[in-house]
């Protein structure tokens, strides 16, 4: 028996040993075979692709030469499809694989080949770029509030997946996006008359989906007409038409309505991103930004804002105005939002169904892993049939990392091709570590707002009131050594602060705003002559105070008060060293600055409470409205009783003013910057106090972007100018820094990261 068992065991052992060897051989053979097959197939695939590229380029070149023969010049790809004379196209449709880029100078029909007058960019891109990105705020269909965390913060990805009607160029010019052109239909023209009498061939009424307009729609304001680009395809293959544009704005509007109606959604950013004043729960909110959104024909849409708004094209030139296909929300979800007229409260909503975001932009959404701690990842693929300039990389894979040093480390360690928002202090390491940086100049401003609203402590003691003294404001502005900030804090990767926004937003009028001087002796003189003397003694005509001595008012309004100012700011806007530098510079002119570098949350709380003299911020300019930043902190956003410094800039505290919103019935800032009703024409109550806002209405009412820029420049001059009010003190203009490996490059970085499109990104 035992013998039999041991025999069996031995047999099994032998057998299994044999099979094992056999198995190994089979695996090796299979492995080799599969490798061969994979390589062979891939080879043919590539060959097939390459042949297709060549054919495509040949076709485009032939078409260009024919175009040249007829028109005496080379044409754009659009012109090759639809020639300017309306004749038959040279191409039946736009090339799938190639982009035509025209350059000036070359002559049509010259024998040199390829002709330098145009180039055909060939082939599907193959590079996959890994990106260490800063913020993970891609919207996802979310269990608690599906569809409501929609577009606003999805930087910088939304600008790549979606197309807005109008794209902001890197110089803040308005460039055609989904809309090829747009024009205002003036206030004075009756709309009905316009469509029938002024227009020889009345446009057909909307077909397909129709939407009810507000019955009482008053046509007493400018309607904006947008002509939609033809031939734009969504990533799902559907054509983009007026219906999608209508749906998009209706969807945004419905979300706002829903948001206003449902108080549990108060924490949610409205999708338009246009601020609504008033509380959803207690105030009669008019959620609509638009009176009407109307389809004129398949490729024409009219938008009529609720209040007169000549800055509309500049405001919607923002990725948050991106067009989604009918039935989809920005986050890719479907269903859910209330149907109904634009003017009413929405109907019932149903549950949203999570889905894939679909846009028409240069990249299409592939995958996204959400993480509440901002450490998810996302992938985007190039849209090979994009209507505009196509992406030059095949795919972008994002990893979201909050810490800038870790992002730089990722590039240095070769784990990422590119890092977004590299710390200025890491630039040297990337440059010397086999990589390079690309900077977008002056996109953000580090600046100080000076509080002119007087807060009253217990017993009616005024607090944080020294900002009402023009001498103090002027001294603060003069005391800041901007070049030192640039050199020491930013290691050269910034510019001395001068404007409130990026200079590009002011176009040709940027130089209307004077450069700011650093002049500590002048600051001391200003303070001395205003009675702020070292230790409160006699005026010393600009002498520096002792080592631990600060200024005290020797008479007049703030008699006996020490020159103690409190600055608040968050820890993202500026490093601790930056705060320390501010303290040291203020000390040099005798100002005792308490600089509190707080968390974003704590700073926000202190700001809302008004417990500060100086507020340090790093505001963005993300749309193309030049009046945006001058208005931002000075809009009517608070109610209650306040005392302000007189608007004429003189010293002292004005009368108590009751601030209500009654003067602003629809509360739709910035749709018409109607000031709040204060009972006093001279004061514009605001978070930070009144200012001479002569030019804001001028910018609002300008009919051209240029005129608006001119007015905004004048307004900035008043706000920042040293001989004016000095309520805004720019410190530096920030550069956005992209760090990348040497084989990666980014052309034309956008000063506004929101609008950064990755079509100029290359990887070799």
Partner 1 sequence: MGGYAARRLLLALPTLLGLSLLVFLLGSLAGDPSDELAARSDPEAGVTAEQVAAIRHDLGLDRPLPVRYGRWLGRAVRGDLGTSLFTNRGVGGQIADAFPTTLVLAVAALVLIVLLAVPMGVAGALFHRHWQDQAIRALALTGASAPGFFLAYVLVHVFAVRLRLLPVAGLSGARSVVLPAFTLAVGPAAMVSRLLRASLLEVVGEDYIRTARGKGLAAVPVLVNHAVRNAALPVLTVVGSVFGRMIEGAVVIEVVFSRPGIGQLTYNAVRSYDYPVVVGTVVFGGAMFMLVNLLVDLSYGLVDPRVRLGRAR
Partner 2 sequence: MTMIETPESVTAITLAAATAGRSRRRALLRRATRDRGAVLGAVLFVLLVAAVATAPLLSPFDPTSIDPRHALAHSSRLHPLGTDLLGRDVLSRLLHGGRTSVAAALAAGAGVATLGLLFGVVAGTIGGAVDTVIMRLVDILLALPLLVVAMVAVGLLGGGTDKLVLTVILLGWPVHARVVRAVALSIREQAFVQAAAALGASRLRIMLRHVVPGVTGAVATLTMIELGRFVLVLSTLSFLGFGVRAPNPEWGAMLADARTSFFLAPRLLVYPGLAITLLVLSVNLMGDGLRDALAPAD
**List of residues contacting partner 2 (CB under 8 A):** 404-405, 408, 423, 425-426, 428-429, 481, 484, 487-489, 491, 571, 575-577, 579-581, 583-584, 595-597, 599, 602
Non-local CB neighbours of 237 within 8 Å, separated by 6+ positions: none
Distances 118 to 219, 340, 388, 470, 760 between C-alpha atoms, Å:
47, 50, 16, 59, 18
Extended beta strands in 106-208, E state: 118-121, 128-133, 166-168, 174-176, 179-185
CA–CA separation, 627 and 335 (whole Å): 37
Residue 375 interface partner, choices partner 2, partner 1, none, CB cut-off 5-8 Å depending on type = partner 1
The verdict on 640 binding partner 1 (CB under 8 A) reads yes
Number of residues that bind partner 1 (CB under 8 A): 58
Distances 602 to 570, 571, 582, 608 between C-alpha atoms, Å:
8, 10, 20, 10
Neighbours of 375 (CB within 10 A): 13
For 289, the token pair is: 């930004």
CA–CA separation, 569 and 447 (whole Å): 10
Binds partner 1 (CB under 8 A): choice among 151, 333, 364, 409: 409
Stretch of 9-17, 399-407, 540-548, 589-597 contacting partner 1, by CB under 8 A? 399-407
Stretch of 369-377, 388-396, 484-492, 561-569 contacting partner 1, by CB under 8 A? 369-377
Q: What is the DSSP letter of 265?
A: G
Residue 669 interface partner, choices partner 2, partner 1, none, CB cut-off 5-8 Å depending on type = partner 1
Closer residue to partner 1 in complex, CB, 405/588: 405
Ranges within 278-317 binding partner 1 (CB under 8 A): 278-283
Stretch of 328-336, 380-388, 398-406, 508-516 contacting partner 1, by CB under 8 A? 398-406
Binds partner 1 (CB under 8 A): choice among 2, 144, 348, 538: 144
The verdict on 201 binding partner 1 (CB under 8 A) reads no
Nearest CA-CA partner of 570 in 607, 516, 515: 607
Closer residue to partner 1 in complex, CB, 95/309: 309
Residue with token string 């390491």: 429
Closer residue to partner 1 in complex, CB, 145/745: 145
Nearest CA-CA partner of 457 in 636, 643, 597, 657: 643
Angle between helix 470-479 and helix 520-529 axes, rounded to 10 deg: 170
State residue 598 phi and psi, 5-degree precision.
Answer: -110, 165
Q: Provide, rounded to whole angstroms, the least separation between the CB of residue 584 and partner 2.
A: 4
Q: Provide, rounded to whole angstroms, the least separation between the CB of residue 375 and partner 1.
A: 4
Closer residue to partner 2 in complex, CB, 408/731: 408
Residue with token string 């890994």: 130
Binds partner 1 (CB under 8 A): choice among 638, 646, 721, 760: 638
Q: Provide, rounded to whole angstroms, the least separation between the CB of residue 106 and partner 2.
A: 45
Question: Site map for partner 1, 599-618, x if CB under 8 A?
Answer: xxx--xx-xxx---------
For 526, the token pair is: 């200003």
Neighbours of 260 (CB within 10 A): 24
Residue 277 interface partner, choices partner 2, partner 1, none, CB cut-off 5-8 Å depending on type = partner 1
CA–CA separation, 615 and 610 (whole Å): 10
Beta strand pairing call for 377-382 and 363-369: antiparallel
Closer residue to partner 1 in complex, CB, 639/677: 639
Q: What is the DSSP letter of 353?
A: B
DSSP-assigned beta bridge partners for residue 302:
225, 294
Stretch of 37-45, 196-204, 627-635, 755-763 contacting partner 1, by CB under 8 A? 627-635
CA–CA separation, 506 and 100 (whole Å): 32
Ranges within 676-695 binding partner 1 (CB under 8 A): 686-687
The verdict on 247 binding partner 1 (CB under 8 A) reads no
Closer residue to partner 1 in complex, CB, 464/669: 669
Residue 149 interface partner, choices partner 2, partner 1, none, CB cut-off 5-8 Å depending on type = partner 1
CA–CA separation, 503 and 341 (whole Å): 41
- Interface residue list for partner 1 (CB under 8 A): 142-145, 148-149, 263-264, 266-270, 273, 275-283, 371-376, 399, 401-403, 406, 409-410, 412-415, 599-601, 604-605, 607-609, 632-633, 635, 637-640, 669, 686-687
């Amino acid at each position: 028996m035992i013998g039999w068992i041991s025999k069996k065991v031995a047999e099994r052992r032998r057998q299994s040993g044999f099979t094992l060897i056999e198995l190994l051989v089979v695996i090796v053979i299979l492995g080799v075979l599969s490798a061969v097959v994979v390589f062979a197939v891939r080879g043919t695939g590539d060959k097939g692709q390459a042949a297709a590229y060549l054919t495509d380029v040949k076709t485009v070149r032939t078409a260009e030469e024919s175009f040249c023969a007829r028109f005496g010049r080379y044409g754009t790809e659009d012109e090759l499809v639809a020639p300017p004379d309306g004749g038959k196209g040279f191409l039946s449709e736009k090339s799938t694989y190639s982009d035509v880029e025209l350059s000036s100078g070359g002559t049509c029909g010259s024998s040199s080949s390829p002709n330098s007058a145009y180039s055909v960019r060939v082939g599907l891109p193959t590079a996959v770029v890994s990106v260490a990105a800063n913020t993970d705020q891609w919207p996802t269909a979310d269990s608690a509030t599906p569809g409501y965390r929609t577009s606003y913060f999805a930087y910088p990805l939304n600008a790549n997946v979606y197309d807005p009607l109008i794209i902001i160029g890197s110089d803040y010019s308005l460039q055609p996006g989904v809309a090829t052109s747009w024009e205002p239909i003036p206030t004075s023209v009756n709309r009905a008359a316009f469509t029938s009498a002024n227009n020889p061939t009345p446009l057909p009424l909307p077909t397909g989906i129709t939407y009810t307009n507000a019955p009482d729609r008053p046509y007493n304001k400018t309607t904006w007409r947008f002509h939609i680009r033809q031939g734009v395809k969504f990533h799902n293959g559907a054509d983009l038409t007026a219906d999608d544009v209508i749906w998009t704005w209706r969807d945004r509007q419905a979300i706002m309505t829903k948001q206003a109606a449902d108080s549990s959604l108060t924490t949610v950013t409205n999708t338009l991103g246009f601020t609504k004043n008033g509380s959803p729960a207690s105030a009669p909110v008019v959620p609509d930004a638009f009176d009407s959104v109307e389809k004129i024909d398949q490729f024409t849409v009219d938008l009529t804002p609720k209040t007169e708004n000549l800055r509309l094209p500049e405001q919607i030139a923002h990725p948050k105005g991106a067009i989604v296909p009918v039935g989809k929300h920005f986050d890719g979800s479907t269903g859910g939002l209330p149907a109904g007229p634009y003017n009413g409260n929405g109907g019932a909503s149903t549950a949203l169904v999570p889905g894939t975001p679909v846009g028409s932009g240069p990249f299409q959404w592939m995958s996204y892993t959400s993480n509440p701690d901002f450490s998810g990842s996302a992938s985007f693929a190039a849209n090979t049939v994009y209507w505009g300039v196509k992406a030059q990389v095949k795919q972008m894979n994002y990893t979201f990392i909050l810490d800038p040093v870790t992002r730089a480390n990722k590039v240095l360690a070769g784990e990422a091709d590119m890092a977004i928002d590299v710390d200025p202090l890491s630039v040297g390491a990337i440059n010397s570590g086999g990589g390079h940086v690309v900077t977008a100049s002056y996109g953000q401003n580090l600046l100080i707002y000076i509080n002119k609203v007087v807060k009253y402590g217990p017993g009616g003691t005024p607090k944080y009131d020294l900002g009402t003294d023009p001498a103090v404001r002027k001294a603060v502005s003069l005391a800041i050594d901007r070049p030192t900030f640039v050199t020491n804090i930013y290691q050269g990767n910034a510019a001395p602060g001068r404007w409130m926004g990026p200079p590009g937003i002011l176009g040709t009028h940027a130089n209307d705003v004077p450069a700011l001087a650093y002049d500590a002796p002048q600051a001391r003189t200003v303070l001395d002559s205003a009675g702020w003397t070292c230790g409160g003694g006699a005026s010393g005509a600009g002498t520096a105070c002792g080592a631990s001595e600060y200024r005290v008012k020797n008479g007049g309004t703030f008699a006996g008060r020490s020159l103690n100012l409190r600055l608040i700011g968050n820890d993202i806007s500026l490093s601790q060293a930056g705060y320390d530098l501010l303290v040291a510079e203020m000390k040099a002119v005798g100002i005792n600055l308490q600089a509190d570098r707080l968390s974003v949350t704590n700073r926000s709380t202190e700001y809302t409470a008004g417990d500060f003299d100086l507020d340090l911020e790093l505001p963005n300019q993300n749309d193309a409205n030049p009046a945006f930043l001058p208005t931002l902190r000075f809009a009517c956003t608070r109610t209650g009783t306040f005392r302000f410094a007189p608007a004429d800039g003189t010293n002292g505290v004005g009368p108590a003013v009751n601030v209500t919103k009654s003067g602003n019935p629809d509360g739709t800032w910035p749709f018409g910057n109607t000031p709040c009703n204060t009972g006093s024409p001279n004061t514009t109550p605001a978070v930070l106090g009144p200012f001479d806002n002569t030019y804001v209405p001028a910018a609002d009412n300008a009919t051209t972007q240029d005129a608006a820029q001119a007015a905004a420049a004048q307004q900035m001059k008043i706000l920042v100018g040293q001989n004016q009010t000095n309520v805004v003190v720019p410190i530096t203009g920030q550069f956005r820094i992209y760090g990348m490996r040497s084989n990666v490059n980014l052309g034309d970085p956008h000063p506004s990261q929101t609008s950064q499109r990755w079509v100029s990104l290359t990887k070799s």
